Structure 1
Amino acid sequence: MYSRLHDLRAGMTGASLDALLVTGRENIYYLSGFTGSAGALLVIADTHLLASDFRYTSQAALEAPEWPFMQVDGPLLPALRARLADTGVASVGYDASNLTLAQYAQLGGDDPALPFRLYPEPGLLTAMRLLKSPEELARMRAAVALTDAACADLLERVRVGITERELALSAEWFMRTHGAARVAFDIIVAAGPRSALPHAQPTDRPLRAGDLLVIDMGAELDHYCADMTRTVAVAEAPPRAREIYRTCRQAQQAGVDGIRAGMTGHDADRLCRAVIEDAGYGEYFGHGTGHGVGLAVHEEPRLRPGVKTVLPAGAAVTIEPGIYLPEFGGVRIEDLVVLTADGCEVLTAAPKPEELLVCG
């Protein structure tokens, strides 16, 4: 953790920040190892501390022994405001994506009497978290392997008459009973016309012969997330379903074959999107091709139109094009990959046949 703290302080110097307040839970864990539900980190050039309340005194000593603990008996942010005032710092950075307007006001906001100024920090921790260390990748590989196993178990349960909700519950049960702390996000199991809803929630609708079935899930294991999607047909596969599956499969493979570090998020997206557009389904692919994954299931970088950010080697991202036909159904195929200078390493091992798989 000290090497991360060293890198963060170097970034703070470059951004002319005397201090940095860290409030996002993933960022707190990333820097300190602390997993409590209430707390904040304060980083200054020559000191750092973890602030929380009495409930976490012992937990902080176990999880973040390298971080001096500041016990706060009242509201957290006013106490940190007073602490910052005592240090004599002039510029304090904060994570605008993890601080509400009300919390900003508790820190003093734009009060001209405040002895320091508050500035949104320029994404220092976001940039650090982009590049996954070997230890982080090992945890992610384990989460992916568990997700692959849960997918295989779920596909064996697919049959006419079982409900979306029953399949989703079985997948969560499998992951939780095989070591997952939790699911990385609400599992998506969507059948028939509902599979055209990219973020559908499972319902009590029973599966029917000819349904397209979209399954999107991921385990959270040792704090790191997995994310994968597979699409199958139930009992039989209509010709139109086979056609859009084949197109999506070709688009996803174009991404796997062509996406690499050094290209922009826009250019990475185009590799998949062009295949779908050329097949005449461009208007039915309305989301980005992918996103970063790590401590959070959705983080930087983004692979979507207009993103000029260059993708770095060592980032873990999804490649997940989709085609969604209203009132008919949808297809999405998603792998989690690690970007390299020469391409990408696919972590997801669940089968994705070139032709639509029929289950049940």
Structure 2
Amino acid sequence: TGFTDIALEAVVTVLEGLPQNAAIGFDYGRDMNGRGSVALISALQRYRLSDAADLIWQQRLIKSEHELQGKQAACKIATDAFFAGLPDLRLGMTEYAFGQNLKQRMIGLGADSVDWLPVRFGKNGRGYAQPNEDNALRPDDFIWVDMGARRADQISDLNRIAKVGKATAEQQELYDFVRAVTLRVAEAIRPGMTGHDAFAVFEPLWAARHFSQGAIAGRIGHGSGLALTEPPSLMAGST
């Protein structure tokens, strides 16, 4: 962000050094619709273009030690900031104010930026992609935060939850159930499994509680790296 023109110049310079009959493989991505650049399209027109999504993601899926360390650092910053920030909460504080508080804590703990930080107070979940609002914290509310803190070229993607007051026995039991399912699926994942295989471990564990149809998960996890959300998806049919 803010360096798009310079980045395009760099890409065009690389392209101009290629033979005219070269093929260029790229992954435009389903989330990139409408973000094309006329300068980039003009530079690409003299080459053969190939959909190289599968090849690119085979490389991107495997994290280097450098990437793993960056990811671990980003996740630690996000988690530490959340728990350190809980004592700052006061009844009447807004989602927006708590979000700003957390951003400052994350920067102070070493984040280069905080790209993603929805904060939600209350009992009913509003859409997580909406901006933080002046929704004030009240007794018995839940506090839910999804945190994307960036450290170097890696970004965290994790959420944490807390509650004003004490959890009821039912809430504690539900929390314990969800956590147990999460850990059992994580422990079952092995090299060579597909996203579908991992989802197949989850499905019978989750179905045992007979939740309503609206509480059925379509996906239980996704990759993360340079971007907040990346392949693979842990979902039915994923190869």
Q: Per the shorter chain, which TM-score range? A: 0.7 to 0.9
Which residue of 2 is the match for residue 219 of structure 1?
149
- 1:242 maps to 172
- 3-state DSSP of counterpart to 1:96: coil
The answer to whether residue 105 in structure 2 is matched with residue 174 in structure 1 is yes
1:95 is the counterpart of 2:62: no
Name 1:142's counterpart in structure 2: 73
Deviation at 1:221, TM superposition (A): 0.5
Aligned to 2:237: 306
TM-score normalised per structure 2: 0.82
User: Are 1:268 and 2:211 matched, yes or no?
Assistant: no
The residue correspondences of 1:119-130 to structure 2 (distance < 5 A) are 119-130=50-61
- Residue 279 of structure 1 deviates from its aligned partner by 0.7
Give the Cα–Cα distance (whole angstroms) in 2 for the partners of residues 272 and 208 of structure 1. Answer: 34
> How far does residue 282 in structure 1 lie from its aligned partner after superposition?
5.6
**CA displacement, residues 195-251 of structure 1 (integer Å, 9 cap, x when unaligned):** 364545422111222222222113101121112112222113234433432322222
Letter in 2 for 1:221: R
Distance in 1 of aligned mates of 2:102 and 2:148:
10
Change (3 A) 1:192 1:290: same
1:292 aligns with 2:223: yes
| Greater fraction of residues in strand | 1
Measured at CA, do residues 213 and 287 of structure 1 come closer, stay the same or move farther in structure 2, by a change above 3 Å?
Answer: farther
**Aligned amino acid, residue 210 of structure 1:** D
Find the partner of 1:203 among 112, 121, 133. Answer: 133
Q: 1:177 to 1:260 in 2, by over 3 A?
A: same
* Cα 1:230/1:108, change in 2 over 3 Å: closer
Cα distance in 1 for residues equivalent to 2:206 and 2:128: 16
Normalised by the size of structure 1, how large is the TM-score? Answer: 0.57
SS at match of 2:197: helix
Equivalent residue number for residue 193 of structure 1 = 123
Deviations 1:140-166 (A, max 9, x none): 221122112111112222343222222
Amino acid in structure 2 at the alignment position of 1:123: D
Superposed CA offset, 1:177-204 (max 9, x none): 232111142x122122343645454221
- RMSD over aligned CA atoms reads 3.0
Q: Against the structure 1 CA distance between its residues 234 and 292, is the aligned structure 2 distance closer, same or farther, given a 3 Å change threshold? A: same
Q: What residue is the counterpart of 2:159 in the other structure?
A: 229
* Stretches of structure 2 lacking an aligned partner (at least 5 in a row): none
Residues in 1 aligned to 2:36 and 2:129: alpha-carbon distance in whole angstroms: 29
CA separation of 1:233 and 1:198: change in aligned 2, threshold 3 A: same
What is the CA-CA distance between 1:262 and the residue it aligns to?
Answer: 1.8
| Secondary structure of the structure 1 residue equivalent to 2:162 | strand
Contact 2:115 2:150 in 1 (8 A): yes
Look at both structures and tell me which one has the larger radius of gyration over its CA atoms.
1
Change in Cα spacing, 1:300 to 1:247, as seen in structure 2 (3 Å) is: same
Paired-residue identity, %:
26
In structure 1, the gaps of 5 or more residues are 1-24, 26-34, 42-49, 53-69, 72-79, 309-360
SS in structure 1 at match of 2:143: strand
**Alignment partners' CA distance in 2, 1:297 and 1:131:** 16
CA 1:282–1:125: 2 relative to 1, 3 Å = farther
Asked if the contact 1:251/1:273 (under 8 Å) is kept, the reply is no
The answer as to whether partners of 2:81 and 2:109 remain within 8 angstroms in 1 is: no
The corresponding residue for 2:42 is 106
Q: In the alignment, is the contact (CA less than 8 A) between 1:191 and 1:214 conserved in 2?
A: yes
